[in-house]
Amino acid sequence: MKIRLVGIIGFCITVAVDLATGRGWWNYHWHYRRSATVSEAKRSGLPGDDIAVLTMPSGGLIQPDGRDIRITTASGRIVKHRVLMVGPGDVVRIAFALQPPVKKYFVYFGNAQADKPKQILKIQRGVLMETWAYPGGGIANFHQVLGVFRRANVFLGRDFRRDIFIGHNPFGPQNRICSIFTGALLCPRDGDYLFSTTSRDASFLLVDGKVVVRNGGHHRAWPRAVKIGRIHLKKGLHELKVYHVSTRGDPIIVAAWRPPGVRRIWKIPPAAFAPIVRATPGFIEQYGKALTADFIYHHAGETFLANRYLQRYEFVAGLSGRFVGKCRYEWDFGDGQKLSITTSAAKPVKCEHVYLSDGAKKVRLVVTIGASKLSRTNVIQVARPWDRITENRMEPLGLYARLVAEYDFTSASAVDIANAIVLFKRTGLFDAIVRAGDALISKKDAPAQALREAMDIYADVLVERMNNSCKAIEALLRAAKMSSSPAISARLMSKAGRYALQSGNDTLAMKIFSQAIHKYSALTTNEAIRDAKIGIGDVWRYRGNYKKAL
């Protein structure tokens, strides 16, 4: 392969000619590609295509329905694929046909004029779960359940599972859902097979299109096989399909069987389904560009904090193409936080980030090489890893606190600051509480409950740890103006009045208590007004006037 050198202000970038000129590019109408690598590529010998599944960031460069996606081998041979889902955020999941012994493939995208591919991969491997929000309707029999799926129009997710044994929704917090499981079942021998489902609410099991188990209606999941069906099957690959509708509670569904020669009905094990493999994405390349910046991310962990979960993500950034010299990686994590890393190494750069609230985060990477800047943006939907919530693996709060303590809170949202303050209290980082609290009261407004919780902690630290009652009083009065809730505002003012009285400033305390009553008593009847009235009595007692205190 020929190599050329491109000089850029004091250092050199070495790039492969095929990226700059487009050699080896399958079709120049597709502007981007990303490699997909599988660790093993052996033929199973089963009917149909062996399958790999790839989940990758799209950079917002793929069409909303994924119609512009094409997958090829390194030699440019098209392989069949099926887009499983696009989103949430800038992410796409694809199943494609393996071509053993090929291990490296390319995913092409970024063609707005592309039509849908003519051939769609027929999936005959693994267990594919497809889930929609339950639209309502009867579920007493199979005909009614099919009607539910015809009406379902809120798609939640599609991915492969190890088996049909689940008690949660892996695609989100909803529990009123309807799911179809399609499994490529490997029957070990000829004979009569027993099948059973246990589920919360309706489930129906089909083999090769024939209904074998009918378990309709609203009911709980039984701990034993109650609904059982029998079918004679030949050795080899069969299509197993399970329809499940959950209208309430945790969406529990288990598919079980008893093959010939086995005495008991057991959950169908993962080994009974024809396997799939997971592919690993590489960095994006752009047609005609010698060097392209990109990043890949994954959810790395979560922790639990006072009725909320915090999420940790790991990011890996790199360049497609080769270079020699220094470059600067600048991250904007989409929540007001930024990070800059300068390196002279050509290997990928890693970092991690804690998100203090859920939602869509627009993450942007800018790589500066001399006078040139390369960038990549992905919208990440930050949320709990719903498919792993049953593992209950919570990371230490201290790990999260150490990362968050480095944040610039002046650019963070009020909700994120409030959550950070709660985190710092739990981990004893009092200086960080003060820094975050200072940033919080500089905001124009904040959600009432978040403000109340954070200000209680912040003010207590100012008084008890920093011996600064004046600052605590000023902060509480400022927060009272920020809140849109009269009840929270009155509570914050009453707390400020208490601190004023404790510090011996009875005049200020009387003024604050009186203002709280005058301003908010007509708007709320909560205990904060009662506390303000009691506070006025305490001021009179402090002054020795016990008659007025009554």
Query: Does 376 have pLDDT greater than 60?
Result: yes
Instruction: Band the pLDDT of 12: cuts 50, 70, 90.
Output: very low
Asked which of 352, 370, 395 is the last residue of a domain, the reply is 395
Instruction: Measure CA 524 to chain center.
Output: 38
Q: Is 89 left (phi over 0), alpha (psi -120 to 50) or beta?
A: left
**If you average pLDDT over residues 333-356, what whole number do you get?**
93
299 and 256 co-located in one domain = no
pLDDT for residue 345: 75
139 and 263 co-located in one domain = yes
Query: Does 231 have pLDDT greater than 70?
Result: yes
* Residue 37 counted as domain residue: yes
Residue 153's φ and ψ, nearest 5 degrees, are -130, 5
46 and 114 co-located in one domain = yes
Instruction: Band the pLDDT of 6: cuts 50, 70, 90.
Output: very low
367 and 317 co-located in one domain = yes
pLDDT for residue 470: 96
Calpha distance 524→193 (Å, rounded): 67
242 and 135 co-located in one domain = yes
**If you average pLDDT over residues 508-530, what whole number do you get?**
87
Number of domain units in the chain: 3
Tens digit of each residue's pLDDT (9 = 90 or more) over 39-63: 988 899 999 999 999 999 999 999 9
pLDDT for residue 7: 34
* Residue 416 counted as domain residue: no
Tens digit of each residue's pLDDT (9 = 90 or more) over 481-512: 999 999 999 999 999 999 999 999 999 999 99
Q: Mean pLDDT for the chain?
A: 92
Tens digit of each residue's pLDDT (9 = 90 or more) over 132-178: 999 999 999 999 999 999 999 999 999 999 999 999 999 998 899 99
Write the CATH number for 335. Answer: 2.60.40.10
- Least trusted range by pLDDT, from 53-67, 316-330, 424-438: 316-330
pLDDT for residue 392: 80
Asked which of 240, 272, 304 is the last residue of a domain, the reply is 272
183 and 92 co-located in one domain = no
User: In percent, how much of the chain has pLDDT > 90?
Assistant: 85
214 and 197 co-located in one domain = yes
Instruction: Band the pLDDT of 547: cuts 50, 70, 90.
Output: confident
pLDDT for residue 324: 67
DSSP tag of 28: T
* Residue 228 counted as domain residue: yes
Query: Does 216 have pLDDT greater than 70?
Result: yes
pLDDT for residue 13: 35
Q: Is 353 within 8 Å of 399 (Cβ atoms)?
A: no
62 and 197 co-located in one domain = no
pLDDT for residue 208: 97
Following DSSP, what letter does each residue of 489-500 receive, concatenated? Answer: HHHHHHHHHHHH
Q: Per DSSP, what are the bridge partners of residue 403?
A: none
Asked which of 222, 239, 272 is the last residue of a domain, the reply is 272
Domain, as residue range, for 219: 127-272
pLDDT for residue 24: 87
139 and 200 co-located in one domain = yes
Q: Which one-letter amino acid corresponds to residue 240? A: L
- In this structure, the strands spanning 253-258 and 210-215 are unpaired
* Residue 85 counted as domain residue: yes
Query: Does 20 have pLDDT greater than 80?
Result: no
* Residue 227 counted as domain residue: yes
User: In percent, how much of the chain has pLDDT > 70?
Assistant: 95
**If you average pLDDT over residues 86-98, what whole number do you get?**
97
Calpha distance 204→307 (Å, rounded): 37
169 and 96 co-located in one domain = no
Write the CATH number for 184. Answer: 2.60.120.1560
* Residue 118 counted as domain residue: yes
**If you average pLDDT over residues 247-270, what whole number do you get?**
95
* Residue 516 counted as domain residue: no
Q: Is 476 within 8 Å of 492 (Cβ atoms)?
A: yes
pLDDT for residue 22: 52
pLDDT for residue 545: 85
74 and 178 co-located in one domain = no
* Residue 4 counted as domain residue: no
**If you average pLDDT over residues 437-443, what whole number do you get?**
96
Query: Does 230 have pLDDT greater than 90?
Result: yes
**If you average pLDDT over residues 336-346, what whole number do you get?**
91
pLDDT for residue 550: 66
- b/e string for 353-385 if b means 16 or more Cβ within 10 A? bbbbbeeebebbbbbbbbeeebebbbbbebbeb
Hey, what are 297's tokens?
A: 């991310």
40 and 117 co-located in one domain = yes
